[in-house]
Each structure stands twice: as C-alpha cells, then as structure tokens.
Amino acid sequence: MKEKILLAGASGALGLEVLKLLHEQGKDVRALVHSADGADKVSDYTDDIWKADASEGNEIIKDITKDVSMVISTLGKSVSLFTDRGKSFMENDFYANSNILDDAKKNKVKRFLYVSIKGAEKALEYEVAKSHKMFEDALEASGLDYTIIRPVGFFSGLNDLAIMAKRKVIPIIGDGDSRTNSIHQKDLAKVVVRYLNEGPEILEVGGPLVHTRREMADMVADRIGGKVIPVPEKVAEWGMFLPEMVDDDISAKLKYFKYVTTNDMIGEKNGDITFEQYLSGLDLEKDLP
Ligand SMILES: NC(=O)c1ccc[n+]([C@@H]2O[C@H](COP(=O)([O-])OP(=O)(O)OC[C@H]3O[C@@H](n4cnc5c(N)ncnc54)[C@H](OP(=O)(O)O)[C@@H]3O)[C@@H](O)[C@H]2O)c1
C-alpha cells in the first residue's frame, strides 16, 4: 500500500505548489483546507480533502492522520494586509498546528515537516514569530522525526507591495538598506519536497538573489508604477498604534512587516526564479485586486 501524506494548508500560496509536486510524483495526499474556495483549489490533485478549521479543537480533525505516514504543514494565517481578518496568528499558527500534531502523535505518524518563518526564534515580541516558535517547540518536544523550514518572505507575500503600487504608493520603512533574498513559492515547494524522507532539524531558506528593500521597491515601481515613499521608522512605529486601538490583526501584521523590512532576512540560497521574473509574469488585472 502507498504511504499517505497529510498536507495541511494545501490550498495556500505555498501549499498548492507543494501539492502539485507531490501529485506529479504520484504521492497519495490527504489535503487539509479551511474554506470552500480552498477545497476547490486542491480538487484537481486529490480526492481526499478535509475541510475544517483545525484551530477549533482536536475533535473536529479527529483521526485526520489515520493511515498517514508523514505530515507536511504549510498551514498558517496569511501575513498579507489585504486578506480577511479571521482568527489570530496564535489560533491558526499555533493551536491549529498543535491539534494536528496531537493527532499525529496518537496515530504514530513517523515524520512531520513544518514550514515556520525566518526570524521565529529572534523576534518573540511579535505575535507572528511567537506563534510559529511555540509550535516549533511543541514539535521538537513531540518525539517525532521532524524538519522545520524557516523561509524568508515568499514572492506571493510581496504582492502587498504590488497592490500598493497599483494604488500609486510603495512605502519603504527606514532607509531601505536592509537586504533579503525572497523566494518564489514554487522554488520553496521544491525545497519542502526535497526533505520529505529526511532532513536537518532546522533550516533557513531563501531565494537566488539578495536585494535591498529599496531595490525591490524600485523593481515594483518599474513594473507597476507608483512612487516609492520612504517612511521614517519612528513615524511607522507611531502609525502602528492607530490600528492597534481598533484591530489587533492589522497591528500584528504591520509590526512584523516593519521588523522584516528593517532587518536583514537572508536564508540559504535556493531556486532560480528571480523577483524581476516574478513581477514580469504578474497579470496586473487578474493577480492584483
Ligand atoms: N507568505 C510569506 O511571505 C511567508 C514567509 C515566511 C513564512 N510563511 C509561513 O508559511 C506558511 C504558509 O504561508 P502561505 O503564504 O502559503 O499562506 P496562505 O496562502 O495564507 O495559506 C494558508 C493555508 O492554511 C489554511 N488554513 C489557515 N488557517 C487554517 C485553519 N485554522 N484550519 C485549516 N486550514 C487553515 C488555508 O486554507 P484556506 O485556503 O481554505 O483558507 C491555506 O490552505 C504560513 O505559516 C506563513 O506564516 C509565509
């Protein structure tokens, strides 16, 4: 009998690319998604689809790992400023994944591959990092064989800049000198699949080219239009108090956005799709609201 893989977050920007690769390799995949839209996205690649809010407790996903030999989780709350609010980072990134892990332990799953975030261990004052790190700790303590991948930002995550560019303003916080090697989600999916059977406990993954935030903002402006506007760090911090008063979700996202854009975020080089190639492939009408 073929070994079954549970892919949690299978309909996400990264999860869907992982699902396509597993499908190409003829793997038997059970997909966990949250929404009806998510279920639609994965339906070309598997018939074994669970649609549930995994943060709601163990019962709702009881035995989701039955007959499963390994779990891959790309499940998490979107970091985009332009997506719906829904649940918190703690509820999705920590509780939902913890419920899956509990089920995996009960059903004696062999291996668990978790996609966390670069900076998870350093930036614990931010909810995004803290909830990923709390799950990393739970996974390490679980006794399961595991690999944790901490990626830098995905190109899909940089769509926020492209959306702002379409609205004519591209903000960069601080001097724009911080560097990163963001990665295409297709390239990251290849890294995930490379470590299916074995891998290091933790690895930090980035894309092929390192750019400053200013260079990236300029590339977005060249492709889409809009003006690059530097926002002094102090002004950005002050601006973050305003949403905090009305919306914890936006506030958590803005704070992490400031953290990642004002610190170097560089992971081991992987893949070959460049940010410029990604931008030139965007359909400005279809891909950006
Ligand atoms: N985007 C970035 O730049 C970036 C950078 C580094 C790390 N990461 C991390 O990588 C992971 C994947 O990111 P992504 O951009 O691919 O995310 P995404 O596009 O927002 O996809 C999230 C996936 O998780 C599912 N999901 C979310 N909450 C759920 C819940 N409570 N129960 C069941 N399913 C749930 C979603 O299902 P539906 O589609 O049905 O809603 C979707 O399949 C996240 O943990 C993120 O923090 C992202």
Residue of minimum CA distance from atom 30 in ligand 1: 53
Taking CA atoms only, the protein residue closest to ligand 1 atom 20 is: 78
**Out of 3.30.565.10, 3.40.50.720, 3.40.50.2300, 1.10.530.10, which CATH number does the structure's domain 4-155+182-206 have?**
3.40.50.720
Q: Give the DSSP H or E segment for 145.
A: strand 145-151
pLDDT bucket at 123, cuts 50 / 70 / 90: confident
Beta-bridged to residue 190, according to DSSP, are: none
Determine which residue's CA is closest to atom 45 belonging to ligand 1.
76
CB count within 10 Å of CB 180 equals 25
Q: 144 C-alpha vs ligand 1 centroid, how far in Å?
A: 22
Q: Whose CA is nearest to atom 8 of ligand 1?
A: 117
Residue 74 exposed, middle or buried by CB count within 10 Å (0-12, 13-18, 19+) = buried
Atom of ligand 1 nearest to the CA of 79: 1
pLDDT at 184: 98
More reliable by pLDDT, 57 or 250: 57
CA 201 vs CA 68, 92, 137, 246, 250: distances in Å: 21, 22, 12, 39, 32
pLDDT category of residue 254 using cuts at 50, 70 and 90? confident
How many Å lie between the centroid of ligand 1 and the Cα of residue 1?
30
Tell me the average pLDDT across 191-195: 98
Most confident of 60-74, 85-99, 113-127, 218-232: 60-74
Domain range summary for the chain, segments of one domain joined by +:
4-155+182-206
Q: What is the pLDDT of residue 63?
A: 98
32, 34, 37, 265, best to mutate for ligand 1 pocket (most atoms within 8 Å of CB): 34
For 268-287, what is each residue's pLDDT tens digit?
Answer: 999 999 999 999 999 888 88
The per-residue pLDDT for range 196-250, each reduced to its tens digit, is 999 999 999 999 999 999 999 999 999 999 999 998 887 776 666 555 555 777 8
- Residues 140-165: pLDDT tens digits? 999 999 999 999 999 998 888 999 99
Give the closest residue (by CA) to ligand 1 atom 22. Answer: 12
Tokens 């931010």 correspond to 126
**Hey, what long-range contacts does 31-40 have (CB within 8 A, 24 or more apart)?**
31/7, 32/6, 32/7, 32/8, 32/61, 32/64, 32/75, 32/100, 33/9, 35/11, 37/11, 38/10, 38/11, 38/12, 39/11
Do residues 83 and 63 lie in contact, with contact meaning Cβ atoms separated by under 8 Å?
no
Binned at pLDDT 50, 70 and 90, residue 288 comes out as confident
Q: How confident is the model at residue 1 (pLDDT cuts 50, 70, 90)?
A: low
Sign (positive/negative) of CA torsion 116, 121, 122, 128? positive
Q: Does residue 193 surpass a pLDDT of 60?
A: yes
On the question of pLDDT at 171 being above 70, the answer is yes
Ligand 1 atom with the shortest distance to the CA of 36: 40
Residue 56's pLDDT is what?
A: 95
Taking the centre of ligand 1 as the mean of its atom positions, its distance from the CA of residue 8, in whole angstroms, is 9
Per-residue pLDDT, averaged over 57-67, amounts to: 96
Please report, rounded to a whole number, the percentage of residues in the chain having pLDDT higher than 70: 95
Binding-site residues, ligand 1, Cβ < 6 A:
9-15, 32-35, 38, 53-55, 74-76, 78-79, 92-93, 96, 115, 117, 151, 153-154, 156-157
Ligand 1 nearest-atom number relative to CA 87: 31
**What tens digit of pLDDT does each residue of 8-42 get?**
999 999 999 999 999 999 999 999 999 999 999 99
pLDDT at 2 over 80: no
Query: Ligand 1 mean position to 55 CA, how many Å?
Result: 13
Q: Looking at residue 242, what is its pLDDT?
A: 58
What are the structure tokens assigned to 289, written together? 């609201």
State yes or no: pLDDT of 86 exceeds 80.
Answer: no
Pairing of strands 28-33, 49-51: parallel
Q: Tell me the three state secondary structure of residue 247.
A: coil
